[in-house]
Amino acid sequence: MEENKMKYYYKVYGLNIESEIKIQELVILNDENKANIDVTIYIDKMPESINTAKNQGILEGFRKNEMWFYIKGIATYYIRNGQEIVVEPYRDIEDHYIKTYILGSAFGLLLIQKNIVAIHGGAVVFNDKAIICTGDTGAGKSTLTSALRLNGAKLVADDVSAIDIKDEIMVYPAYPQQKLCGDAVRKLGYDTGNFIRIDEGRDKYAIPSKSDFINKPIKLSAIFEIMVGDVEDVEIKELRGSEKMNTIMKNIYRGYVNQLAGLDREYLKKCLKVTKDINVYRMIRPKDKFIVNEQIEIIKEKLFKEYSKCISL
C-alpha cells in the first residue's frame, strides 16, 4: 500500500476504520481516535491462492481468519484476521459499486472474524428501548423500521445489527442511512424524487437519517422476527427454548459462513447469552396488506405497558 494515498477515517459498529476508499455514508471518526485503528480498508492485489481459486471458477472462500468473495465486474474482497479488508477492483469501476459490498458482505464477514454477533435486520430505539427487526428478504424489515422512525423511533442500523456483550447486551450503531424499495417509499408517503436510487435492478432508494440517528451503543431490549403468512391480521408469538435459539441462529447475517469456517466457542456463548436474556418474538403479517400501523402498535404493547397510538401511515 502506497504511503501517499488519501486516507479516510470512520466509525461503524463500534470500530475505528482507516480507509483508502471514500465511504461517505459512514460516520466520521473523531481526530483523537485516529491513533487507535481497529480495521484498515485498502486497495491491493489478491494473494495468489485466491487468483488460483478464481481461475478454477471458485467465487468465495471462508476460513476463520481468511475470507474472500468475488463480485463479477466489480471487485474481489479479502477479509483477514478481523483487521483488514483488502479490495482489488475491476478496472475503472466506480467507487459507488465497490463500497456497496464493503458496507454489506465485507463488514458482515469482518464481524464474524471479530466474534461480534450480527443479526440480519434493522435496529431502532423507541423510548430508550432498542429493538431489532429481522427476517427473510422481502419480509418487510426495512419498511417496518422506517415506519417506526416516522413514529418517533431513532435509527441504530438498517440492514445489519451488530450486538456484543460487555456488562449488558448492546447493539452498536451502523451508519445514518436506510435502503427502501420504491414500493415501500411510496406507501410510507415519501417522494422518490427526493432520494438517490442506488439499485436500478431492485428499485432501491437511499433514505438519509442523520437527524434521527443514534451514534452510541444502546442496550438491546427485544428482537422481532418478521414473517409473511396466510393470516388476516398481524399475529405475534413470544418464542422460548430451542425455537428461540434457532430463530437467533437462523437470522445471523451470513450465518452459513459460521458453518463453513467453524463456529467459535466464544461466539456460540454470546448467542446463548442473547437467547437467555433477550425477549424474542415472531410477528406474522398478512402478505397482501400494508399493515405497519398494527405492527407498530403490537411492538409498543410488548415494550411498554402504556403507549400512545401511532401515526397512521
Question: pLDDT digits over 13-71, tens only?
Answer: 999 999 999 999 999 999 999 999 999 999 999 999 999 999 999 999 999 899 999 99
Grid cell, residue 266, equals 466464544
The pair phi, psi for residue 105, each rounded to 5°, is: -65, -40
- What integer is the mean pLDDT of 178-200? 79
Residues 101-154: pLDDT tens digits? 999 999 999 999 999 999 999 999 988 899 999 999 888 898 999 999 989 999
Among the listed residues 153, 304, 298, the one whose alpha carbon sits nearest the alpha carbon of residue 238:
298
Q: Which residues pair with 9 in a beta bridge?
A: 18
Residue 169: pLDDT band (50, 70, 90) is very high
Grid cell, residue 171, equals 447493539
Residue with cell 474472500: 68
212 Cβ partners below 8 Å, 6+ apart? Answer: 149, 153, 154, 155
User: Is it the case that residue 309 has pLDDT exceeding 80?
Assistant: no
DSSP state of 226: E
Domain ranges of the chain: 8-114, 117-309
- What integer is the mean pLDDT of 63-82? 96
Taking the domain 117-309, which CATH number applies?
3.40.50.300
How far apart, in Å, are the Cα atoms of 154 and each of 78, 97, 188? Answer: 33, 28, 16
pTM: 0.90
Residues 262-274: pLDDT tens digits? 888 899 999 999 9
